[in-house]
Every structure is written in structure tokens, then in C-alpha cells.
Amino acid sequence: MLVITQRRFAALLLVALARSAFAEGDAEAGRTVFQAKCSGCHNIGPGAQAAFGPQLTGVVGRQAGTTADYQYSDAMRNAGVVWSEDKLKAYIDDPKGVVPGTRMNFWWIGSDQKLSDLVAFLASQTGQ
Ligand code: HEC
């Protein structure tokens, strides 16, 4: 009985360690996620311009709804959100939960790992 309990504990510990190792996010893997899930509506990188959605260069640390060449919804313009990595994760997970009334529709990124990778990629795109 005790043996099983210890094994279980070891397994849980391994899962916890693996999770924290992955939580960092891999920007190169995130580029692929961006291309698959976001690039249909968003441009990113030096000189990127608005498309169906606003450009996302330098989005980490940016006030929501403030790029000059995009007509935002009133909801986004007045969101009062600064895009931290955590806010971006929450928004990608549930756009209307974070900015009620936003025009962006998005369903499911696929996994927590993909979300971490994607946000690491976004953070790497400073426009430099
Ligand atoms: C179907 C098109 C579409 C897809 C796919 C999409 N978006 Fe958007 N996104 C939009 C639109 C439209 C807006 C503007 C929303 C508004 O004004 O309410 C937006 C807004 C945003 C904003 C706010 C930007 C700002 O300047 O405040 C972020 C951040 C964002 N999207 C990230 C993403 C990411 C990351 C992905 C991929 C996981 C993604 N979006 C996928 C259409 C899309």
C-alpha cells in the first residue's frame, strides 16, 4: 500500500516537473503555431501592417486597441487592457471573456504548450 502511494507521488512529481519545464514556451515552435492559427488575420514582424485584424508586432506591453492603421471595435478601443503575456494567454483562450464585445473570434489553440509557445513567439517579435 505504501509502495503504491510512493509511486503515485513520484508520478505526480514528474508531471509537475514536466509542466514547469514546458511552461516557458518555445518561440520557434510558437512561430509555427502563429502561422497555423493567427496569420490568416494578423501580420507580425518589422513593418507589419493591419490586415483583417491589427498587426501584432510588439504586442507584449502594448495598450489594447492602439495601432494607428486599424479600425478597432469600441470594445477593444475601450478595453483598458495592457497586453502582458498572461493577458494574451487569457485572451487567446477566450477573447470575449477578456474583452466582452471584441470582434475577434477564436476557438481553441490546441494545448497549453502551444499557447505558451505562441506567446513566447509574440514576445520575441519586438520589431527589431
Ligand atoms: C478570424 C480572424 C482572426 C484570427 C484567426 C485571430 N484574430 Fe486576433 N483579432 C482579430 C480581430 C478582427 C481583432 C480586432 C478585434 C476588435 O477590434 O475587437 C483581433 C485582435 C487581436 C488582438 C488585440 C490587438 C491590439 O492591438 O490590441 C490580439 C492580441 C490578437 N488579436 C491576437 C491573436 C492571436 C495571437 C491569434 C492566433 C492565436 C489571433 N489573434 C487570431 C481577428 C483574428
For cell 502561422, the residue is 35
Q: Give the total number of structural domains in the chain.
A: 1
Whether 7 maps to a domain, the answer reads no
Give me the pLDDT at residue 94, please: 96
Mutate to test the pocket of ligand 1, among 104, 115, 117 (most ligand atoms within 8 A of CB): 104
CA of 91 to the centre of ligand 1 (A): 9
Check if 103 has its Cβ closer than 6 Å to any atom of ligand 1: yes
Whether 6 maps to a domain, the answer reads no
Domain that holds residue 113: 25-124
pLDDT over 80 at 12, yes or no: no
For cell 510558437, the residue is 30
CA of 113 to the centre of ligand 1 (A): 20
Tens digit of pLDDT for each residue in 22-68? 468 999 999 999 999 999 999 999 999 999 999 999 999 999 999 99
- Start-to-end C-alpha separation, the chain: 58
Q: Rounded distance, CA 111 to CA 93, Å?
A: 10
Across the chain, what does the average pLDDT equal?
89
Whether 5 maps to a domain, the answer reads no
Tens digit of pLDDT for each residue in 76-116? 999 999 999 999 999 999 999 999 999 999 989 999 999 99
Check if 57 has its Cβ closer than 6 Å to any atom of ligand 1: no
Give me the pLDDT at residue 8, please: 62
pTM of the model: 0.86
Whether 13 maps to a domain, the answer reads no
pLDDT over 80 at 3, yes or no: no
Give me the pLDDT at residue 13, please: 52
> The domain spanning residue 59 has which CATH number?
1.10.760.10
Give me the pLDDT at residue 128, please: 78
Give me the pLDDT at residue 107, please: 87
Whether 64 maps to a domain, the answer reads yes
The length of the chain, given as a count of residues: 128
Give me the pLDDT at residue 82, please: 98
Whether 20 maps to a domain, the answer reads no
Check if 64 has its Cβ closer than 6 Å to any atom of ligand 1: yes
Distances 86 to 17, 19, 23, 69, 72 between C-alpha atoms, Å: 21, 17, 12, 25, 22
Whether 10 maps to a domain, the answer reads no
Give me the pLDDT at residue 43, please: 98
Whether 90 maps to a domain, the answer reads yes
CA of 30 to the centre of ligand 1 (A): 16
CA of 57 to the centre of ligand 1 (A): 12
